């Protein structure tokens, strides 16, 4: 590039970020006053974007991973004004809340999908890290074969399942009676299981969105 080419170079147009559905890697978001202690008045950066494919209509779910200091928090835009926030939990934590027999039944593909799940602990006795993430009662809504892709497919086609599925899994999910909470399981080949406690909050719980810095 010559000297005069530098002077003629057009400046990069500043990116405007107005909705979390448009988040990109490196973007920041600020949460308002929240019931969940780890999110309350905190700021996070998007460190990863991944996709879950459930097949059928409206099958593609986009997840944004937050830099959460080891807490493994993710965000999904469910509707234009509703956010799903999810916290990954270990089996030990899960078994402090729910019956092991009930969870085993939910994860058995040979059983029906009409399971109900009840917390074994009073909501008043939840630890600080679980407050805002757990409901008293849940009902199972589905059990599907899903595929997880470690990439952002909002603006491109998914790979062919038969050849390029990175990780197939059994995906089971339950919704609370008031539809404010959910519990999700992903069981991968070999038995490895991911469990997430989910909370649904209005879009206004995001105080601010900050696009990543762009090179000029």
Summary mean pLDDT of the chain: 88
Residue 148 or 71, more confident? 148
Query: Residue 6 falls within a domain, yes or no?
Result: no
Residue 4 lies in a domain: no
Does any domain span residue 41? yes
Tokens of 137: 């009662």
- Judge whether 2 lies within some domain: no
Question: Are the CB atoms for 23 and 30 separated by under 8 Å?
Answer: no
| Domain count along the chain | 1
What's the pTM value of the predicted model, to 2 decimals?
0.88
Interval 24-52 mean pLDDT: 95
- Report the pLDDT value the prediction gives residue 164, as an integer from 0 to 100: 47
- Integer Cα distance of 172 and 213 in angstroms: 38
Quick check: 171 and 140 in contact, CB under 8 A? no
Asked if residue 42 belongs to a domain, the reply is yes
CA distance 206 to 155: 24
Closest to 66 measured CA to CA, from 51, 82, 87, 80 = 87
Most confident listed range (64-73, 105-114, 147-156, 207-216): 147-156
Domain that holds residue 153: 13-210
Question: Would 3 be classed as within a structural domain?
Answer: no
Give the pLDDT confidence of 150-200 residue by residue, as tens digits. Answer: 899 999 888 775 554 557 899 999 999 999 999 999 998 888 899 999 999
pLDDT at 25 over 90: yes
Q: Is residue 5 in some structural domain?
A: no
Long-range contacts, stretch 9-14, CB < 8 angstroms, 24+ apart = 11/216, 12/214, 12/215, 12/216, 14/211, 14/214
Q: Where residue 67 falls among pLDDT bands split at 50, 70, 90? A: confident
Alpha carbon distances (Å) from 159 to 44, 57, 139, 165? 30, 16, 32, 7
Q: Looking at 2-16, 68-82, 105-119, 201-215, which range is the least confident one?
A: 2-16
Higher pLDDT, residue 110 or 89: 89
- Domain presence at residue 8: no
């Amino acid at each position: 590039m010559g000297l005069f080419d530098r002077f003629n170079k057009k400046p990069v147009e500043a990116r405007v970020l107005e909705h979390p559905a448009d988040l990109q890697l490196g973007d920041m978001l600020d949460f308002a006053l929240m019931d969940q202690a780890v999110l309350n008045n905190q700021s996070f950066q998007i460190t990863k974007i991944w996709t879950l494919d459930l097949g059928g209509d409206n099958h593609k779910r986009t997840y944004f991973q937050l830099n959460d200091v080891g807490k493994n928090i993710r965000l999904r835009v469910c509707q234009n004004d509703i956010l799903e926030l999810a916290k990954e939990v270990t089996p030990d934590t899960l078994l402090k809340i729910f019956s092991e027999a009930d969870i085993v039944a939910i994860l058995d593909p040979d059983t029906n999908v009409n399971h109900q799940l009840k917390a074994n602990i009073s909501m008043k006795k939840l630890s600080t890290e679980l407050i805002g993430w757990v409901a008293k009662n849940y009902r199972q809504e589905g059990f599907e074969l899903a595929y997880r892709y470690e990439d952002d497919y909002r603006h491109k086609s998914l790979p062919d399942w038969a050849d390029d599925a990175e990780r197939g899994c059994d995906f089971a999910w339950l919704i609370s009676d008031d539809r404010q909470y959910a519990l999700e399981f992903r069981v991968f080949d070999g038995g490895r299981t991911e469990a997430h406690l989910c909370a649904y909050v209005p879009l206004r719980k995001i105080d601010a969105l900050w696009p990543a810095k762009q090179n000029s």
